[in-house]
Amino acid sequence: MNIIKLAKENEERLIKYRRHFHRYPELTGKEYETLKFIKQELEKYSVEYVEIENGGILVTIDSGKIGKTVLLRADIDALPIEECQFNDSGIKKPCISENKGVAHMCGHDCHTAMLLVALQILNQHKDKFSGKIFGFFERGEESGENIYYCLKYFEENNVEYDNCFGIHVGSIVEQELGNIIVRTGEYYAGMIVFDITIHGKGGHGSRPDLCNNPIDVFVDVVSALRDIEIDKKELFSYSTCVVDCGSKCNIIANTLKFEGSIRFFKEEVADYFVSEFKKILQEKSEKYDCTFTEHFKINTYPVINDELCCEIGRNAFSKLGFNIDEGQPKMGSESFAYLQMKSDGLYVNLITSNAKKGITAQTHNHKFDVDEDVLYQGVCCHIGYALEFLNGNYQTNRKQLNTKALFEKIGINI
Protein backbone atom coordinates (compact mmCIF):
# COMPACT_ATOMS: atom_id res chain seq x y z
CA MET A 1 0.00 0.00 0.00
CA ASN A 2 1.64 3.21 -1.20
CA ILE A 3 0.42 5.56 1.52
CA ILE A 4 2.07 8.70 0.18
CA LYS A 5 0.72 8.09 -3.33
CA LEU A 6 -2.80 7.65 -1.98
CA ALA A 7 -2.55 10.77 0.19
CA LYS A 8 -1.24 12.87 -2.71
CA GLU A 9 -4.01 11.57 -4.97
CA ASN A 10 -6.52 12.84 -2.41
CA GLU A 11 -4.67 16.08 -1.61
CA GLU A 12 -7.01 18.32 -3.59
CA ARG A 13 -9.99 17.04 -1.59
CA LEU A 14 -7.98 17.38 1.63
CA ILE A 15 -7.32 21.08 0.97
CA LYS A 16 -10.93 21.58 -0.07
CA TYR A 17 -12.09 20.07 3.22
CA ARG A 18 -9.66 22.14 5.26
CA ARG A 19 -10.76 25.39 3.62
CA HIS A 20 -14.43 24.52 4.08
CA PHE A 21 -13.93 23.94 7.81
CA HIS A 22 -11.79 27.08 8.00
CA ARG A 23 -14.38 29.30 6.32
CA TYR A 24 -17.23 28.03 8.49
CA PRO A 25 -15.83 27.53 12.00
CA GLU A 26 -18.09 26.81 14.97
CA LEU A 27 -17.52 27.30 18.67
CA THR A 28 -17.31 24.61 21.33
CA GLY A 29 -20.64 22.82 21.74
CA LYS A 30 -22.09 24.46 18.62
CA GLU A 31 -20.37 22.41 15.90
CA TYR A 32 -23.67 21.49 14.22
CA GLU A 33 -22.84 22.29 10.58
CA THR A 34 -19.35 20.85 11.01
CA LEU A 35 -20.85 17.56 12.20
CA LYS A 36 -23.33 17.60 9.33
CA PHE A 37 -20.54 18.07 6.78
CA ILE A 38 -18.36 15.32 8.29
CA LYS A 39 -21.26 12.86 8.24
CA GLN A 40 -22.09 13.81 4.66
CA GLU A 41 -18.52 13.13 3.50
CA LEU A 42 -18.28 9.87 5.45
CA GLU A 43 -21.48 8.64 3.82
CA LYS A 44 -20.13 9.47 0.35
CA TYR A 45 -17.39 6.90 0.97
CA SER A 46 -19.64 4.39 2.77
CA VAL A 47 -17.84 4.84 6.09
CA GLU A 48 -19.83 3.57 9.09
CA TYR A 49 -20.28 5.92 12.03
CA VAL A 50 -22.41 6.81 15.03
CA GLU A 51 -22.96 10.25 16.50
CA ILE A 52 -22.29 10.53 20.22
CA GLU A 53 -24.70 13.02 21.76
CA ASN A 54 -22.71 16.11 22.87
CA GLY A 55 -19.50 14.21 22.15
CA GLY A 56 -18.81 13.93 18.44
CA ILE A 57 -18.65 11.22 15.79
CA LEU A 58 -17.21 7.72 16.18
CA VAL A 59 -16.26 5.91 12.98
CA THR A 60 -15.75 2.13 12.87
CA ILE A 61 -13.69 0.46 10.14
CA ASP A 62 -13.67 -3.30 10.73
CA SER A 63 -11.37 -5.43 8.59
CA GLY A 64 -13.42 -8.52 9.41
CA LYS A 65 -10.24 -10.21 10.61
CA ILE A 66 -9.26 -10.86 14.22
CA GLY A 67 -6.73 -8.37 15.50
CA LYS A 68 -6.05 -5.31 17.60
CA THR A 69 -7.93 -2.01 17.70
CA VAL A 70 -6.55 1.50 17.27
CA LEU A 71 -8.36 4.82 17.74
CA LEU A 72 -7.43 7.82 15.57
CA ARG A 73 -8.63 11.19 16.83
CA ALA A 74 -9.21 14.75 15.61
CA ASP A 75 -10.82 17.76 17.33
CA ILE A 76 -13.34 19.89 15.44
CA ASP A 77 -14.23 23.08 17.36
CA ALA A 78 -12.97 26.64 16.80
CA LEU A 79 -12.07 29.65 18.96
CA PRO A 80 -13.83 32.97 19.76
CA ILE A 81 -11.27 35.02 17.80
CA GLU A 82 -11.74 37.54 14.98
CA GLU A 83 -9.31 36.33 12.32
CA CYS A 84 -6.87 38.68 10.58
CA GLN A 85 -6.80 38.15 6.82
CA PHE A 86 -3.01 38.55 6.77
CA ASN A 87 -0.28 36.39 8.29
CA ASP A 88 2.73 37.60 10.31
CA SER A 89 4.47 39.00 7.23
CA GLY A 90 1.41 40.80 5.90
CA ILE A 91 0.78 38.16 3.23
CA LYS A 92 -2.89 37.50 2.56
CA LYS A 93 -4.09 34.08 3.68
CA PRO A 94 -5.64 31.72 1.09
CA CYS A 95 -8.92 31.69 3.03
CA ILE A 96 -10.29 33.22 6.22
CA SER A 97 -13.27 32.67 8.49
CA GLU A 98 -16.63 33.90 7.25
CA ASN A 99 -18.19 33.57 10.72
CA LYS A 100 -17.57 36.85 12.54
CA GLY A 101 -15.73 36.47 15.82
CA VAL A 102 -15.07 32.75 15.34
CA ALA A 103 -11.98 31.22 13.76
CA HIS A 104 -9.90 28.06 13.51
CA MET A 105 -6.81 29.56 15.11
CA CYS A 106 -5.69 26.26 16.63
CA GLY A 107 -5.62 24.12 13.50
CA HIS A 108 -8.66 21.96 14.23
CA ASP A 109 -9.79 22.53 10.64
CA CYS A 110 -6.60 20.76 9.54
CA HIS A 111 -6.98 17.98 12.10
CA THR A 112 -10.54 17.26 10.97
CA ALA A 113 -9.69 17.30 7.26
CA MET A 114 -6.62 15.06 7.70
CA LEU A 115 -8.49 12.42 9.67
CA LEU A 116 -11.52 12.54 7.38
CA VAL A 117 -9.42 11.77 4.30
CA ALA A 118 -7.37 9.14 6.15
CA LEU A 119 -10.52 7.28 7.19
CA GLN A 120 -11.95 7.42 3.67
CA ILE A 121 -8.74 5.85 2.35
CA LEU A 122 -8.53 3.21 5.09
CA ASN A 123 -12.15 2.22 4.52
CA GLN A 124 -11.27 1.45 0.90
CA HIS A 125 -8.30 -0.73 1.90
CA LYS A 126 -9.63 -3.03 4.64
CA ASP A 127 -7.65 -5.87 3.07
CA LYS A 128 -4.41 -4.15 4.13
CA PHE A 129 -4.85 -4.69 7.86
CA SER A 130 -6.27 -6.98 10.53
CA GLY A 131 -8.41 -5.79 13.41
CA LYS A 132 -10.38 -2.62 13.75
CA ILE A 133 -9.91 1.14 13.42
CA PHE A 134 -11.95 3.74 15.26
CA GLY A 135 -11.99 7.30 13.99
CA PHE A 136 -13.05 9.87 16.56
CA PHE A 137 -14.08 13.44 15.74
CA GLU A 138 -14.18 15.17 19.13
CA ARG A 139 -16.40 18.12 19.92
CA GLY A 140 -15.46 20.82 22.40
CA GLU A 141 -11.73 20.24 22.84
CA GLU A 142 -11.15 23.91 23.61
CA SER A 143 -13.28 23.64 26.74
CA GLY A 144 -12.12 20.10 27.44
CA GLU A 145 -15.60 19.10 28.57
CA ASN A 146 -17.31 17.31 25.67
CA ILE A 147 -14.85 14.43 25.98
CA TYR A 148 -16.69 13.38 29.16
CA TYR A 149 -19.76 12.44 27.11
CA CYS A 150 -17.52 10.31 24.90
CA LEU A 151 -15.91 8.51 27.82
CA LYS A 152 -19.37 7.76 29.21
CA TYR A 153 -20.51 6.48 25.80
CA PHE A 154 -17.40 4.33 25.45
CA GLU A 155 -18.05 2.71 28.83
CA GLU A 156 -21.77 2.15 28.25
CA ASN A 157 -21.22 0.70 24.76
CA ASN A 158 -18.05 -1.32 25.42
CA VAL A 159 -15.90 0.75 23.08
CA GLU A 160 -12.39 -0.54 23.80
CA TYR A 161 -9.12 0.07 21.98
CA ASP A 162 -5.51 -1.03 22.39
CA ASN A 163 -3.85 2.16 21.20
CA CYS A 164 -4.79 5.77 20.43
CA PHE A 165 -3.18 8.33 18.14
CA GLY A 166 -3.62 12.01 17.36
CA ILE A 167 -1.92 14.86 15.51
CA HIS A 168 -1.77 18.59 16.22
CA VAL A 169 -0.43 20.99 13.61
CA GLY A 170 2.29 23.15 15.09
CA SER A 171 3.94 26.52 14.60
CA ILE A 172 7.45 26.04 15.97
CA VAL A 173 9.73 28.37 14.02
CA GLU A 174 12.94 26.58 15.04
CA GLN A 175 11.61 23.36 13.48
CA GLU A 176 11.68 22.52 9.77
CA LEU A 177 8.44 22.53 7.80
CA GLY A 178 6.99 19.02 7.72
CA ASN A 179 8.89 17.68 10.72
CA ILE A 180 6.99 15.22 12.90
CA ILE A 181 7.57 15.77 16.62
CA VAL A 182 7.53 12.47 18.50
CA ARG A 183 8.33 13.01 22.16
CA THR A 184 8.54 10.20 24.68
CA GLY A 185 6.96 10.82 28.08
CA GLU A 186 5.65 14.22 29.19
CA TYR A 187 4.42 16.22 26.19
CA TYR A 188 1.34 18.41 26.83
CA ALA A 189 0.65 19.84 30.29
CA GLY A 190 -2.41 19.24 32.42
CA MET A 191 -4.61 22.24 33.18
CA ILE A 192 -6.55 23.53 36.18
CA VAL A 193 -8.85 26.48 35.51
CA PHE A 194 -9.74 28.97 38.22
CA ASP A 195 -12.60 31.45 38.58
CA ILE A 196 -12.40 33.82 41.57
CA THR A 197 -14.63 36.68 42.73
CA ILE A 198 -13.48 39.15 45.39
CA HIS A 199 -16.35 40.80 47.27
CA GLY A 200 -15.66 44.25 48.70
CA LYS A 201 -17.62 47.39 49.50
CA GLY A 202 -18.06 49.90 46.72
CA GLY A 203 -18.60 53.61 46.81
CA HIS A 204 -17.51 57.01 45.50
CA GLY A 205 -14.02 57.20 44.04
CA SER A 206 -13.31 60.30 46.15
CA ARG A 207 -13.74 58.37 49.42
CA PRO A 208 -11.66 55.18 49.26
CA ASP A 209 -11.41 55.40 53.04
CA LEU A 210 -15.10 54.47 53.24
CA CYS A 211 -14.77 51.54 50.85
CA ASN A 212 -13.16 48.10 50.70
CA ASN A 213 -11.71 48.08 47.20
CA PRO A 214 -11.51 44.56 45.69
CA ILE A 215 -8.79 45.81 43.33
CA ASP A 216 -6.46 46.21 46.32
CA VAL A 217 -6.92 42.53 47.13
CA PHE A 218 -6.37 41.49 43.52
CA VAL A 219 -3.13 43.47 43.19
CA ASP A 220 -1.73 41.93 46.37
CA VAL A 221 -2.81 38.41 45.36
CA VAL A 222 -1.21 38.60 41.90
CA SER A 223 2.00 39.91 43.44
CA ALA A 224 2.09 37.22 46.14
CA LEU A 225 1.50 34.38 43.67
CA ARG A 226 4.90 35.12 42.12
CA ASP A 227 6.53 34.31 45.46
CA ILE A 228 5.15 30.76 45.70
CA GLU A 229 8.23 28.56 45.50
CA ILE A 230 8.09 25.85 42.85
CA ASP A 231 11.19 23.79 42.07
CA LYS A 232 12.75 25.28 38.91
CA LYS A 233 13.17 21.76 37.54
CA GLU A 234 9.40 21.34 37.45
CA LEU A 235 7.54 22.22 34.26
CA PHE A 236 4.83 24.52 35.60
CA SER A 237 3.11 27.80 34.76
CA TYR A 238 0.05 29.87 35.59
CA SER A 239 -1.61 32.90 34.05
CA THR A 240 -4.45 35.32 34.76
CA CYS A 241 -6.27 35.91 31.49
CA VAL A 242 -9.55 37.62 32.46
CA VAL A 243 -10.09 40.51 34.89
CA ASP A 244 -13.51 42.13 35.22
CA CYS A 245 -14.06 45.05 37.59
CA GLY A 246 -15.60 48.51 37.60
CA SER A 247 -17.62 50.61 35.20
CA LYS A 248 -16.49 54.23 35.67
CA CYS A 249 -13.41 56.15 36.78
CA ASN A 250 -15.07 57.59 39.90
CA ILE A 251 -16.86 54.47 41.16
CA ILE A 252 -15.17 51.89 43.39
CA ALA A 253 -16.70 48.55 42.45
CA ASN A 254 -18.26 46.07 44.84
CA THR A 255 -16.68 43.03 43.18
CA LEU A 256 -13.76 41.97 41.03
CA LYS A 257 -13.72 38.72 39.08
CA PHE A 258 -10.62 37.12 37.60
CA GLU A 259 -10.01 33.88 35.73
CA GLY A 260 -7.00 31.97 34.53
CA SER A 261 -5.29 28.62 34.30
CA ILE A 262 -2.55 26.56 35.91
CA ARG A 263 -0.43 24.20 33.78
CA PHE A 264 1.34 21.22 35.28
CA PHE A 265 2.90 17.82 34.67
CA LYS A 266 2.92 16.57 38.26
CA GLU A 267 -0.39 16.62 40.10
CA GLU A 268 1.27 17.06 43.49
CA VAL A 269 2.95 20.27 42.28
CA ALA A 270 -0.39 21.64 41.08
CA ASP A 271 -2.08 20.66 44.35
CA TYR A 272 0.60 22.51 46.33
CA PHE A 273 0.23 25.66 44.21
CA VAL A 274 -3.57 25.64 44.55
CA SER A 275 -3.27 25.20 48.31
CA GLU A 276 -0.91 28.19 48.57
CA PHE A 277 -3.13 30.20 46.19
CA LYS A 278 -6.11 29.71 48.52
CA LYS A 279 -4.06 30.73 51.57
CA ILE A 280 -3.03 33.93 49.80
CA LEU A 281 -6.64 34.69 48.85
CA GLN A 282 -7.69 34.29 52.47
CA GLU A 283 -4.84 36.42 53.83
CA LYS A 284 -5.20 39.30 51.36
CA SER A 285 -9.00 39.39 51.56
CA GLU A 286 -8.86 39.67 55.34
CA LYS A 287 -6.22 42.41 55.06
CA TYR A 288 -8.67 44.66 53.16
CA ASP A 289 -11.88 43.51 54.92
CA CYS A 290 -13.12 41.71 51.83
CA THR A 291 -14.35 38.17 51.17
CA PHE A 292 -14.01 35.88 48.18
CA THR A 293 -15.53 32.91 46.39
CA GLU A 294 -13.31 30.56 44.42
CA HIS A 295 -13.62 27.64 42.04
CA PHE A 296 -10.66 25.53 40.92
CA LYS A 297 -11.36 22.72 38.44
CA ILE A 298 -9.15 20.18 36.69
CA ASN A 299 -9.83 20.68 32.99
CA THR A 300 -7.48 18.00 31.71
CA TYR A 301 -4.50 15.91 32.70
CA PRO A 302 -1.03 15.78 31.10
CA VAL A 303 -0.49 13.98 27.81
CA ILE A 304 2.14 11.31 28.48
CA ASN A 305 3.38 9.50 25.38
CA ASP A 306 4.07 5.81 25.89
CA GLU A 307 7.59 4.66 24.94
CA LEU A 308 6.40 1.76 22.77
CA CYS A 309 3.85 3.97 21.01
CA CYS A 310 6.66 6.41 20.22
CA GLU A 311 8.61 3.51 18.72
CA ILE A 312 5.60 2.56 16.60
CA GLY A 313 5.29 6.16 15.42
CA ARG A 314 8.96 6.55 14.60
CA ASN A 315 8.97 3.28 12.66
CA ALA A 316 5.84 4.27 10.73
CA PHE A 317 6.96 7.81 9.93
CA SER A 318 10.49 6.72 8.99
CA LYS A 319 9.04 4.30 6.44
CA LEU A 320 7.15 7.27 4.99
CA GLY A 321 10.42 9.19 4.68
CA PHE A 322 9.41 11.97 7.07
CA ASN A 323 11.86 13.82 9.32
CA ILE A 324 11.33 13.09 13.01
CA ASP A 325 12.41 15.22 15.97
CA GLU A 326 12.09 14.72 19.73
CA GLY A 327 11.01 18.31 20.38
CA GLN A 328 10.31 19.77 23.80
CA PRO A 329 7.42 19.46 26.30
CA LYS A 330 4.59 21.91 25.65
CA MET A 331 2.73 23.93 28.27
CA GLY A 332 -0.47 23.84 26.23
CA SER A 333 -3.10 21.29 27.22
CA GLU A 334 -4.98 18.59 25.34
CA SER A 335 -8.06 16.51 26.12
CA PHE A 336 -6.31 13.67 24.26
CA ALA A 337 -5.00 12.85 27.75
CA TYR A 338 -8.42 11.38 28.59
CA LEU A 339 -8.18 8.95 25.65
CA GLN A 340 -4.82 7.83 27.05
CA MET A 341 -6.64 6.85 30.25
CA LYS A 342 -8.15 3.95 28.29
CA SER A 343 -5.01 2.77 26.48
CA ASP A 344 -1.41 3.58 25.73
CA GLY A 345 -1.16 6.24 23.05
CA LEU A 346 0.85 8.74 21.05
CA TYR A 347 0.20 12.41 20.35
CA VAL A 348 2.46 14.18 17.85
CA ASN A 349 2.95 17.54 16.16
CA LEU A 350 3.17 18.14 12.43
CA ILE A 351 5.13 21.34 11.80
CA THR A 352 3.10 23.59 9.49
CA SER A 353 4.90 26.92 10.05
CA ASN A 354 7.00 28.30 7.20
CA ALA A 355 8.98 31.52 7.69
CA LYS A 356 9.56 31.83 3.93
CA LYS A 357 5.81 32.35 3.49
CA GLY A 358 5.37 34.46 6.63
CA ILE A 359 3.54 31.62 8.39
CA THR A 360 5.02 32.02 11.87
CA ALA A 361 2.17 33.10 14.18
CA GLN A 362 1.44 30.85 17.13
CA THR A 363 -1.88 29.11 17.72
CA HIS A 364 -4.64 31.18 19.38
CA ASN A 365 -3.28 34.25 17.55
CA HIS A 366 -5.47 36.03 14.98
CA LYS A 367 -2.68 35.82 12.38
CA PHE A 368 -2.20 32.06 12.76
CA ASP A 369 -2.01 30.12 9.50
CA VAL A 370 -0.65 26.83 8.18
CA ASP A 371 1.32 25.79 5.11
CA GLU A 372 -1.17 23.52 3.37
CA ASP A 373 1.62 21.86 1.36
CA VAL A 374 2.40 19.47 4.22
CA LEU A 375 -1.13 18.55 5.33
CA TYR A 376 -1.00 15.37 3.23
CA GLN A 377 1.67 14.22 5.70
CA GLY A 378 -0.95 14.24 8.44
CA VAL A 379 -3.10 11.89 6.37
CA CYS A 380 -0.06 9.66 5.90
CA CYS A 381 0.72 9.67 9.62
CA HIS A 382 -2.79 8.54 10.57
CA ILE A 383 -2.73 5.72 8.02
CA GLY A 384 0.90 4.79 8.65
CA TYR A 385 0.52 4.64 12.42
CA ALA A 386 -2.64 2.53 12.22
CA LEU A 387 -1.13 0.01 9.80
CA GLU A 388 2.21 -0.18 11.62
CA PHE A 389 0.44 -0.99 14.88
CA LEU A 390 -2.25 -3.32 13.56
CA ASN A 391 0.07 -5.31 11.30
CA GLY A 392 3.15 -5.20 13.53
CA ASN A 393 4.17 -7.32 16.49
CA TYR A 394 3.42 -4.64 19.10
CA GLN A 395 1.58 -5.26 22.36
CA THR A 396 0.32 -2.09 24.02
CA ASN A 397 -1.92 -1.90 27.06
CA ARG A 398 -5.62 -1.37 27.48
CA LYS A 399 -6.42 0.41 30.74
CA GLN A 400 -9.35 0.17 33.10
CA LEU A 401 -10.96 3.59 33.43
CA ASN A 402 -13.55 4.08 36.16
CA THR A 403 -15.48 7.00 34.68
CA LYS A 404 -17.69 7.37 37.75
CA ALA A 405 -14.67 7.85 40.01
CA LEU A 406 -13.04 10.20 37.49
CA PHE A 407 -16.17 12.34 37.15
CA GLU A 408 -16.55 12.56 40.92
CA LYS A 409 -12.93 13.68 41.28
CA ILE A 410 -13.20 16.48 38.74
CA GLY A 411 -16.76 17.49 39.59
CA ILE A 412 -18.57 16.34 36.45
CA ASN A 413 -22.25 15.38 36.52
CA ILE A 414 -23.61 14.07 33.22
Q: Mean pLDDT across the stretch 346-371?
A: 97
Segment 270-298 mean pLDDT: 98
119 pLDDT higher than 90: yes
- How high is the pLDDT of residue 144? 85
Q: What is the mean pLDDT of residues 198-214?
A: 98
Residue 172, pLDDT score: 87
Of the candidates 142, 145, 372, 388, the residue annotated as catalytic is 372
259 catalytic residue (yes or no): no
352-365 mean pLDDT: 96
Indicate the pTM of the whole model.
0.94
Annotated catalytic, 301? yes
**pLDDT at position 134:** 99
Among candidate residues 402, 401, 396, the one with its CA nearest the CA of residue 346: 396
What is the model's pLDDT at position 256?
Answer: 99
The span from the CA of 252 to the CA of 211, in Å, is 7
**Which pLDDT value is given to residue 182?**
98
| pLDDT at residue 150, as a whole number | 98
Residue 173 has pLDDT above 90, yes or no: no
pLDDT above 90: residue 166: yes
pLDDT at 2: 98
Q: What is the band of 57 on the pLDDT scale with cuts at 50, 70, 90?
A: very high
Domains in the chain, start-ordered, CATH in brackets? 3-186+302-410 (3.40.630.10), 190-300 (3.30.70.360)
Mean pLDDT of 177-182: 98
Q: Of the residues 188, 288, 301, 376, which is catalytic? A: 301
